[in-house]
Structure 1
């Protein structure tokens, strides 16, 4: 099979399209012939050596959709040729509140989806949503699971509530916007790009502000009032300002730190306004199934920014590095 292999850290050009042995399914596994894979910022961080316990060479990629190529011993409920999508949350563990010691995300240390074939546990393979093409299906797993747990499980967003999603344009933030809208919330967004704010409005956001404006919290409050919920993946200096924005009894859910560490934090509004700060990472198999049900029931389609051939993985990663995309970047595997 062909695969995109990372053999050294540092530059995106270190990814190479190479021949690798075809995987064979072990007991309880299936081999999926991938038709599409999607990128995540996780792939960039790994390529720069900014991820724990990375071993090289590696085939990255957490998101994928395709067809069942072969079944390992003991696998039931799946058939060869079936259209499927892969849940990248491996070995979550028995406690739905928190991942266990064996938890890991597909694509490191296990070989990932930047390949023509992949062997994965059968429990991580589910039927592709009906009517959805492979590119759309591949755009959902990691971002969709993360957004679903943040919006539904952790924030418990209710109809009529006001939700702020920061950093719109990223795949997870965009799906968080779509999920919150599907639940009947009023959603507002932030971005450093006016074009991305306009795209968010076209998806259904009530409005948005640029976080490049030093007075963005005041402008957001004029538009939205005090939000009930903030969904944040940036951290950094804006984190404390999001806490200040929340109405009494509000919730802030965080799943990332793309803007770096929080430089300072005033605990007064946290206890005086009876706020909840909630952290989340990925999710359980039950949440993955519920997320796909929501997607299918509400006719949600992920926003795909651009699709590249697998052989152009370097160009796809460079496009992500430039941070100009709105939605997910996908690779077609042919």
Structure 2
């Protein structure tokens, strides 16, 4: 038996009807879903846009997405109905963050607290229908209660980028207090999260951005210095700032546009960690530089869902904050895609119902 609000009627949702430009996004009316046993239904307050949404809409080689498809991997909302068997700690009216990742089996990675490494790990909005709908149903373990004082709208900008940055810095690079961390792209969602996480761990943070305004944001978020990565001399400037040593950790997610400079900025024995490439998928590595300097290049995807407790508590304590460029109604999702593709965005775009 479902407990909570009556679900009769329809809801607004976004459909990607085929791969292509922003024009393939459609607002549609769908039946309100019913939670199955062990599931909760969330009335979605807001979602935020990520580069993943762009890639899903355009189409990715080797990734088949059934159409029509509901996009969106980040979201917040209020639980409004409970399926049979949901635990007593989850209640109607609870304000929650909706976790972007999920698994379908309780394998060894899940049991070890490293669910994002499970072979069946998926991301909502890519491997399953996403959160761009007024109501969504999902297993109860994939909602995290919001601490008092956190806003549903701003918090919608948190899940994917903060979890990704946490996984890059803590899980893969294993940053240590006192290390120098170079964060590429201060004004991006994942870059702005990376600055704050490294700073909170006691690291010296140096960041890069392509405009004075974006570099100022990086410093405001906690970076000690901010460099212009459109200036070819920026790796030399970083070396000068570190006494000729370079960075202990380089936080890379841009790809070809910054890769060579990122590798030149890495100190002997340093670690470069990357979660993607917004400027393209292919880069080159000069192998003698890599092995002669005992450097490491680490790939990273998402992060352990257990990190959400620390991330949200850090927000509640004022240690972390999402950077929200603007808040738009869901009906303007095509405009939001165009803004993100046009590099007009500082931080995250949030869309509300």
Q: TM-score, normalised by structure 1?
A: 0.94
Q: Per the alignment, in what secondary structure is the counterpart of residue 137 of structure 2? A: strand
Q: Call closer, same or farther: CA 1:98–1:136 in 2, change over 3 Å.
A: closer
Confirm whether residue 288 of structure 1 aligns to residue 308 of structure 2.
Answer: yes
Residue 139 of structure 2 corresponds to 121
How far did residue 279 of structure 1 move? 1.0
How far did residue 97 of structure 1 move? 8.0
Contact 1:188 1:224 (8 Å CA) reproduced: no
Which of 49, 68, 71 aligns to 2:79? It is: 68
Confirm whether residue 134 of structure 1 aligns to residue 149 of structure 2.
Answer: no
CA–CA distance in structure 1, aligned partners of residues 217 and 251 of structure 2: 18
Q: Call closer, same or farther: CA 1:22–1:235 in 2, change over 3 Å.
A: same
CA–CA distance in structure 1, aligned partners of residues 115 and 333 of structure 2: 35
Contact 2:44 2:135 (8 Å CA) reproduced: yes
How far did residue 308 of structure 1 move? 0.3
Which of 275, 287, 311 aligns to 2:295? It is: 275
Q: Cα deviations across residues 41-89 of structure 1 (Å, max 9, x unaligned)?
A: 1111111112612111011000110100111121112000110011111
Residue 53 of structure 2 corresponds to 43
Residue 56 of structure 1 corresponds to 67
What runs of 5+ residues in structure 1 fail to find an aligned partner?
none
Moved more, 178-187 or 257-266: 257-266
Confirm whether residue 94 of structure 1 aligns to residue 116 of structure 2.
Answer: no
CA–CA distance in structure 2, aligned partners of residues 201 and 186 of structure 1: 12
Q: Cα deviations across residues 196-252 of structure 1 (Å, max 9, x unaligned)?
A: 112112222112222221222112222344111110002225324322322222111
Contact 1:55 1:109 (8 Å CA) reproduced: no
Confirm whether residue 22 of structure 1 aligns to residue 32 of structure 2.
Answer: yes
Which of 189, 203, 206 aligns to 1:171? It is: 189
Residue 153 of structure 1 corresponds to 171
Q: Cα deviations across residues 170-221 of structure 1 (Å, max 9, x unaligned)?
A: 1011101111111121111122222211211222211222222122211222
Residue 83 of structure 1 corresponds to 95
Residue 235 of structure 1 corresponds to 255
How far did residue 98 of structure 1 move? 5.8
In the comparison of the two structures, how many residue pairs are matched?
Answer: 333
Q: Per the alignment, in what secondary structure is the counterpart of residue 208 of structure 1? A: strand
Q: Call closer, same or farther: CA 1:181–1:256 in 2, change over 3 Å.
A: same
Contact 1:82 1:127 (8 Å CA) reproduced: yes
CA RMSD of aligned residues (A): 1.8
Q: Cα deviations across residues 97-123 of structure 1 (Å, max 9, x unaligned)?
A: 862232110112322111111111111
Contact 2:168 2:303 (8 Å CA) reproduced: no
Q: Call closer, same or farther: CA 1:313–1:180 in 2, change over 3 Å.
A: same
Moved more, 122-131 or 200-209: 200-209
